[in-house]
Each structure stands twice: as C-alpha cells, then as structure tokens.
Structure 1
C-alpha cells in the first residue's frame, strides 16, 4: 500500500461526522449518528463482544482520509446474521482459535450497505483495493483466524473475491415499487387468490377496533420510545434471549437522526398494543424491530409489511426491506433477492475447507432463489 497508511480507530467519533457521512450514500445505518449511538450507549463495546476497530485509510502523511471501513473485533458470532458458528466449531475442534476475528459490518443490522467507503474525489477502485489488502494483511499479521465483510453490495463482494476473499451468498425478501399509485394498484399485480388473501388479512388485522398510527421525525417523543421499548424487549427476549439494544440507544437515535425514523403504533381501546420501527433511506424503507403485547391474527403482517408498502407508495420509495429471512413474506409480495458477503480465512487448509463448503452453499442459494421466484404471488406474464 505504497503512499498510504492504515490506522485503527477505537471509536467512530475519531472520524469527522461530515467526512464519514459523505462516504455513505445517505445510508441510515452507516451514518455517523447511528454508529455513534451504538457506541455511546454501550451497546457496542468489548464487554458485548463488539470491540470497535474502525479502519481509516490515509495518505502517506496520515492527514487526509482516503477511505474507511466500519470494523469490529468480535469475540463471538452473534448479532451478525451471516452465520459462521459451524466454521468456528470446526476450526476449534481442529485445535485452532477462531475468536477473536475481524467483522466489517453494521452491528445487529442485516441490511446491505457499502462497507468499502471511499472519500469524495478519490479513485474508487484503488482505495477499495487498498482497504481489502489492508484488512487481509492485518488479519494475518495479528494472528486472527479470519475477517468477514457482511451484507455487501454485489459489486463490492465481487471486488473482494477478485482479491482473494471467499464469496458467500444468502437471500432475503424485499418489496419493489413498480410505479404503483396505491396499495390497490399493487394488489392488481397479484394473482386473484393472493389478492383476496391479503385483503382478508388486512381486514382481520384491524378487527376489534384496532387502528394504526404513524409517528415520524421530530414528532417522536420519549413517551413513544418508552412504549416501543416494551415491545422490543418482549420480542427480543423471546427470539434472542438477551436483546442487543438498551433503552438509551433509542433515545439517542431519536435525538441524532429523527428524520430517518418512522414508527407504526397499533391502538386498541385507548392502549398501544403493538409497534414497528422503520428507518428511512434515500429510496428504501427498512423495517427493523416489532413487538406486540397481545395476540391478534395478521397484525404483524399489517404493521410490518402492509403499512410499510403503503408508506413506500405514498412517499415514492423504490423498495421495502423487512428484515432478514422469512419465506412467509413471499405471499405478501416480498420477493427473493440475494445478499453477499466476503471472507478472508488466514489458514490455507481451513480456507480450502470453507471454500468447498461455500461452493455448495452458493449453488443451494441459487436454486432456492429461483424456486421462490417461480412461486411468487405475482401474476404470470
């Protein structure tokens, strides 16, 4: 990396917020404010297994930032959503030490976003190559087992593959706006049976006098966060055992980035019984967390999927991403898309074993995406 220097930063606030945000294409989860909120509230720290070691690439003098990566030293594989527990078990059974490892990602957030960040005016291909080379060199020099760049855009994943990283794929379900003027326009694209099913689900979800309230931006108060945090804790405790985020985090993002937050609350008989948190990007709405304190058929679908579609249509957004995995989303108009990650494995023998596994896994993902695409709820051309 002649003419450049690589530096590790123990906190995101080491970077100027405007310079950092200028490299992120307006992505809400990459924003300096979002990452700062995770660190300042203690959700991301050594004790939680997410030790910040953000990588900054500088000119030779170290004065000018050329590029960066959001990076962490991980003591486990939780909160990543690209699962490598089997790799860790295999390597440790062979006598190796899998943890700690480098993780280039957004903590607790299974959302595709650029990770090879390039400053304005810098040569993109060159800076990305330097970042990838630097990460691999640091991983080897420090005796770590591996480095993982997860939920990459396809072009960045393929760039990494060209530089010796192992390519991995998976799939999620996203909704695409095909120029719809209303939810009914969207339904017209579906088969008759699916169209009737969704209409039925929407009716039954709101039976018994349930109504949906949207709260966004600066209208969100601490009282709203108090209510939502109850839902988050209830769902998180059941799904993960220990929820990743604390109450202070939600206040922090509400203060630092309110213009990118949309909440849907479900009211019944004067009480808020459910809610969903969404983040707003330049052309996407991202559904992140949901919770409900009562059992109501289809209310999850209404609050998380159909309200998100309504919002996207009304605001001219192109896509809705409603979280990781979930084949049940297919019947609600969310279609399969591939996700990408890249992995540097230091040990040559272990690397070969992982490469063989990934070759088979990629074929399985291709077949799954093709199969699901053939069984989408949309009318056949």
Structure 2
C-alpha cells in the first residue's frame, strides 16, 4: 500500500433482501423491527420431509425485476447480484469513468447451486442431450462478478472471493486494498447467495446449525437470547460502490460514509467451529480499526455477525471482549440477522450497507426477538432504533465463516 492511505468513500448502495427489494426498503423495514422469515410453501418441503420448513426468501422475486432472458441465463445467485449492483450503480450516479479504472470485487459463499442440482436432475431423468449449454457459466462461482462487470463495463478486473459467510465482507476488504493500491478509481463490491434449496436445508439441519422453530418462523432468529437454537437460512445480495475520495469529489458524487478499513484473518482451528478464544477474529477487528487510524475506544457502533447459534454468539463476544475490554459495555451492538436471517456469502455485504446507513443517518438498527439475554453475553444490544449522537462516528461490521475465515469492515461518518 502507499505510505499515505487514501480516503475511500461509499457513493452507492443496492440490495435485494428478505426485507425488501431495494437497500432503502430493506433498511426501513429493519428500523421498523420487521422479520423477513416466513414458512416455505414449495412442494419440496413436504416431499423431502425436511426438518426445517421456513427460511428468509427474497421479498421481491428476481423474476419480477429482471427480463426473462436474464433469468434464463443467470443462476438465482447471479440474478440477485445483478439487481443489487444495478441499484448501487444508479444510486452512485452511474460514474462516467474509464472502464479500465473500474473494478468488480464480488463474492459468494456457494455459487450456482440451483443450476447445478437442477442440471443433475435433468441428466438423471432426461439424459445428457437435455442439459442446458449455459449450465457451466451459470454454476461458476464467478458468475455474479462476471455479470456485474458486464453490466457496468468494468474492465479493470472482475474478482471473486469465496470464503463462506465472511465472503461479502472480504470482498469489501479486497476492494479497500485495491483502491489503496491505485489499480482502480471505482470498485463495485458485494456478495450474493441463493441456496434456499432442500439439500442445503437438510445438510445444515443435520449439523444442528439451523433453528427448528417451525411453529414460529418470524421469531426463530434470536441472537444472544438464552433460547437461541440456530440460524435461519436466507437469500439475497448487497452491493456498494466505492471510490477514492478524490475521484468522488471530482465528479460531484454524494458520499454516504468512508470505508476506513477492511481486514482478513483466519483461525486455523476447525472447519466449522469458531476458535472459542476468538484471537484471530479479534485481530481482524483490531486491524480494521488501526487502518482507520483509530483505537477501540473510538468505535461507536458494532454490527455483529451474531448468527443466533449457541456456540457462535459466545465466541464472537469473547473476541469483542479481547479488543474492547472495559469499553465494550457502552458500545451499541446490533444483530441484524434477527430480521434478515443469514445470507451466507451475501450477508457481509448487506450488513455493511446497514452499517453505512447507521453512521450516515446516525441511528443503530434494532435487534428483534431478544426476550431474555444470555448472561454470558453482557453486550449493550440495541432492541429499538437508537440515535448514535453527534460528532464523528466509527462503526465495524463483523463476518465469520466456516473454514475459520474472519473479515471486518470499518466505516466512518463523512
């Protein structure tokens, strides 16, 4: 990186989520304390006798937004990515920038799963001649990044990171680094996922990772609650447009916030379980805060990973305690997966948008479904929209994924 860090700013946001078809609709629903979790009405739920019968599906189906040709040529994961990216690009004013100075950093945790499994069914039931020729480009994990790059004519690169549930945040961390290195003036970054399918539901349920509150889906995701019993599978995508401050000011762009830091570490501990000591997760937070030229005492808000799993929530608390110490009890913490469910590779991008809007609009969003807080996690959890006050704000958004992947993004009010 250069010796003098550049200021990186956010000029556009876009999302399609279980709460709404746009970033703004999703944010407004989040502030109202809504839940995007609903029973699944597909026939395959009963056909496969799934132990979990609910999820957080996108509120606006991709087919309602995209053309028929786009839905036929893109896996649902890339469809969501394209919708979010289009909104973000237009929100940023569609920057008139040399295409070779535009870069895409887009992520997914799993990729084109629906296309892959549908093609396998077709092969078994109808034979090889009926397998669609577009199958390979639709199942590629880089399909979303490619679609976004073609949408905005990005010729500076279309890069894909796949790091489970840390993917979306790691894409932002990569974008931060790429802008600091000077290889682009504008980066569109984000993450997507579309795997509400019987196989992942069965597999996640088998490993005891999913909530099984089939009788009360809207209250199933309950981070920090003593009765939490697992996460809720969700789908959707988020995208942000990032630029150097110099480039944004030169074109008169509106600026939401500053991306002040982005870091990546790994536990090297276990393929699914987080390191219970949280040392690497804590180091990711520390690095992002240091990149922002700040100290832990400067942090005024945290969007926690907080999946609602019994083990994961405590592990993250221990990591937070390592970094923030006596300052931790006075930091407002939001656990937005209570409303959205867990978008896997897309969750970091969506929660980054929520963090950007939190520092931009100076309000911490609520955490719903917290009836009795776990005494082992004594955080100041925000349960109603809370003003964040005057003066400079610094917030972090945490993401941790299977494989021991940790990524943190830091955002400063502008």
TM-score by length of 2: 0.27
Which structure's CA Rg is the greater one? 1
Q: Give the structure, 1 or 2, with the largest relative contact order (CA under 8 Å, sep 6 or more).
A: 2
Higher percent of residues as strand: 1
